[in-house]
Structure 1
Amino acid sequence: MMNNIDKSKLVLVHKQSDTINDIPLETKEIGYYQDSWNRFKKNKASFVAFIIICFILLFVIVGPHLKNYNLFERSTVNAARLANLTPRIPFLEDFGVFDGTKTITVGRRYLLHMADPENEFGHGIILEGLPQELLDDPNHPDFVGIRSFTVKVDYYKYVNYRASYMPEDYYSILDEVNNGNSNLNPLAPVIRTLRQEQFDEYMAKNYIIDVRRIVQQQNPDAPGTFYYQYEVRLDQFKVSLDQLPEDTYFWFGTTGEGKDLFTEIWKGAAVSLTMAFWVTLINAVIGLTIGSIVGYYGGVLDLLFDRFVEIVSSVPFLAVLTLLVLRFGSAEWVIIIAFTATGWIGSYGTGRLQFYRFKNREYVLAARTLGASDGRIMFKHIFPNTLGLIVTGYALAIPSFVFTEASFSFLGIINYQTSTSVGMLIQRGQAVMQNHPHLLLFPATYIAILMIAFNLFGNGLRDAFNPSLRGVE
């Protein structure tokens, strides 16, 4: 059968005079980190988590400055007049969500006082739940013996009305006055004494509801001269926020101290994340430095450090934290020391294991044969191969610190004197969650989002920095 082939067809495809050239590469060379970034972007969940983390960090920076306000007086009594306001968010309030309303139980006489048609300050407070028959006839037989009603109110207007126009304990004090104790003034809790300059300023801004009394006082600095003091009742919202309740938006509500919860969460987040950064950085520097040296050289050095690490790791973290807090208080630097006293052991174990694993690979032996120094081998050849696991570990170390710090703050072990962490906000919210659930909802939601985002982000970084996946689609 071979004899039937036409020999004229058996010719070389390329004659000797032809030249075969390689086709030049049209794409640019992609470096290790560029390739890692390209792989990371393809992981949709991790990339979304990265965007969420960026937004959190942005709000940590700008959040405390978005809605600033200062109470005219930082005493507990006056600050509490704007306490526990419910969340009110623009646009969402049009759908009945976070609209600043609340269902509460109000005393009968207090309720009728607000709903009185002749009371110009009570309009628009009660939204639902007040029987029309009771308004038409306060002595209606169907409501005899009923001392309180559950109604839905505009909580912002209600709080301002209670704090500015009628104290919460108005009727109880008034009853005591009627029983003969004339020394008690039913309006005493909301009376302010102003000097002439402040009185003129508040009058111009329409802060003053009414003037109760004008008192002439002798000027001690200039004998023979006098000045006036004005006892007035003030609109708390106007004085504190320079706006009306219906124009006020606390996106996350207010705390029991009358502070904006939105601002407090981002201040607490800044405290927690800043401390997490420093703890992670210190643990990384100490743990990775020691672990890489011990793992690379091994031998006696490895044995000695292993025994030392066993001793340090046997000390309970809670005991270290408790002793430091009892001795030095709950300052930020004390908490950082407590978390780094034994926290570097995890970084040490990761560095030691990875360098021990890769130090005898073929490419390492080739580099050593070509005369590369130990430092170059460690940081040029071994370290990039361990980077994926290391970065993932530290990406997860940040939310781990935040969660642990929040847990101990919740338990009361960590109690900062000059700042408030998210864990402390959760602790306070848990105590009043039945009456004011927003104080627990928003801090807990922040912690949950942070934990999920950092876990997804860490998983994406692990795959992106894995050298074995380089070039894999």
Structure 2
Amino acid sequence: MANKDYDKDLFVPLEREDDTSEKISRPSLTFWQDSWMRLKKNTGALIGAWVLIIITFMALAGPFFNDYGFDEQNLIRSKLPPKVQGLENIDWLPFQGTMHRTFEAETLEDAKEDAINRFKRDEENIEMTVVDDGSNGGPAIVDAEFDVYANQGFEDEYFWFGTDTLGRDQWTRVWKGTQISLYIAVLAAFIDMVIGVAYGGISAYYGGRVDDYMQRIIEILIGIPNLVVVILMILILSPGILSITIALTITGWIPMARIIRGQVLKLKNQEFVLASRTLGASDSRIIMKQLVPNVTGLIVINTMFTIPGAIFFEAFLSFIGLGLQPPVASLGTLIDEGFQSLQTFPYLMIYPAIIISLIMIAFNIVADGLRDAFDPKMRE
């Protein structure tokens, strides 16, 4: 190609100022600031965090919203349905303080008689609606609504989640049980974190025979079924908050220890660790000041996944009868009590089941959000 002469006016020199030549267009952010910016963009994680904040607040303050005690028994008000002031007149909400049943019989009179017999022969507080009078050859069907509060003389009282078999306020018991479940789970997760981080960090940092011996101990513990260990510990220590917490932490720290070991093995030969060792830093200082801070993200994420697992495991133990003993209650014991009368009084199980489901879903969503936020590869 032949050379061409270009007009020099087509070329404009770039003006460069000394004070802007080294300017950084993007602000300098720390690891935590960068992670927080990415976490704020995750709508699901933020919603999950708010759900956890609200449930935690209710677990702490909810039992004080009314004047009923956690273990205040009154058999006269046994198994009252939920009733909320201001909502009892809204038909599509289950807070009217009434019981609904449908009765079928060969004749309309028999269906009404069945309803009267079912509801303690209190015709004054029964409102019946004829669905089918049986004139077409089919069975007569009557829909009956029974005002339990009026029948038992509690017209001016309100039990927001109803009452249980012994007449105890279910609202107070549900939030107190949530408080105990969260306490056990957070305490067990914290102990798992401390033991797992220390064990995994020491094993990986020293390596050699120390690592071999410590990993053989872990392999022995993993070979024993976790449920067997937990049940044996509870049977030995007798059921209670302390025994359940200890049982959950006997083998619960192992996943944390293995994760930390793998990360420390990758980091311990890095330049910054070698520099600290050259400058005379002690082993404990290198582990606590250099290695552990670099795996903080994994520690937080794994702990967030541990808490819902501990809540579910505690609820499972309570459900099979190895959990807390009366009068202390957790979400697991409340679900167990409600399951025994699920068909007749479903509200005894529905509310604690909803709360434990929200807790587990929210913790897992937040943990997923934290995992994405702490991963530099997710940076836009």
The answer to whether residue 261 in structure 2 is matched with residue 262 in structure 1 is: no
Residue 66 of structure 1 corresponds to 65
Residue 427 of structure 1 corresponds to 336
Aligned partners of 1:367 and 1:267: how far apart in 2? 49
Give the drift of 1:400: 0.6
The verdict on how the C-alpha distance between 1:363 and 1:273 changes in structure 2, with shifts beyond 3 A counting, is same
Aligned partners of 2:4 and 2:372: how far apart in 1? 60
> Aligned runs of 1:68-467 on 2, under 5 Å?
68-69=67-68, 79-90=74-85, 92-93=87-88, 94-98=90-94, 99-104=96-101, 108=116, 114-115=122-123, 122=124, 125-129=125-129, 151-158=144-151, 160=152, 237=154, 245=155, 247-361=156-270, 364=273, 374-375=283-284, 377-467=286-376
Contact 1:85 1:100 in 2 (8 A): yes
Query: Does 413-422 or 363-372 show the bigger shift?
Result: 363-372
Aligned length, in residue pairs: 358
Aligned partners of 1:112 and 1:375: how far apart in 2? 73
The structure with the largest alpha-carbon Rg is 1
Aligned partners of 1:41 and 1:113: how far apart in 2? 59
Residue 102 of structure 1 aligns with an amino acid whose one-letter code is M
Deviations 1:160-218 (A, max 9, x none): 1xxxxxxxxxxxxxxxxxxxxxxxxxxxxxxxxxxxxxxxxxxxxxxxxxxxxxxxxxx
Residue 111 of structure 2 corresponds to none
Residue 35 of structure 2 aligns with an amino acid whose one-letter code is S
The verdict on how the C-alpha distance between 1:12 and 1:394 changes in structure 2, with shifts beyond 3 A counting, is same
Give the drift of 1:302: 0.6
> How high is the sequence identity, in percent, across the aligned residues?
34
Residue 66 of structure 2 aligns with an amino acid whose one-letter code is K
Contact 1:272 1:402 in 2 (8 A): yes
Give the drift of 1:258: 0.9
Q: TM-score, normalised by structure 2?
A: 0.82
Q: Where does structure 2 lack aligned partners over 5 or more consecutive residues?
A: 104-113, 136-141
Contact 1:330 1:417 in 2 (8 A): no
Give the drift of 1:358: 2.8
Deviations 1:143-170 (A, max 9, x none): xxxxxx8621122213x1xxxxxxxxxx
Residue 229 of structure 2 aligns with an amino acid whose one-letter code is V
Q: Report the secondary structure of 1:282's partner residue.
A: helix
Aligned partners of 1:113 and 1:424: how far apart in 2? 34
Aligned partners of 1:308 and 1:357: how far apart in 2? 22
Give the drift of 1:387: 2.6
Q: TM-score, normalised by structure 1?
A: 0.67
The answer to whether residue 52 in structure 2 is matched with residue 53 in structure 1 is: yes
Residue 30 of structure 1 corresponds to 29
Residue 38 of structure 2 aligns with an amino acid whose one-letter code is R
Contact 2:116 2:122 in 1 (8 A): no
Aligned partners of 1:375 and 1:34: how far apart in 2? 28
Contact 2:80 2:97 in 1 (8 A): yes
Contact 1:388 1:463 in 2 (8 A): no
Give the drift of 1:366: 6.1
Aligned partners of 2:269 and 2:168: how far apart in 1? 59
Residue 89 of structure 1 aligns with an amino acid whose one-letter code is V
The verdict on how the C-alpha distance between 1:335 and 1:111 changes in structure 2, with shifts beyond 3 A counting, is closer
Give the drift of 1:371: 6.6
Give the drift of 1:375: 4.7
Q: Output the aligned Cα RMSD.
A: 3.3
The verdict on how the C-alpha distance between 1:342 and 1:112 changes in structure 2, with shifts beyond 3 A counting, is closer
Aligned partners of 1:56 and 1:281: how far apart in 2? 20
Residue 215 of structure 2 aligns with an amino acid whose one-letter code is D
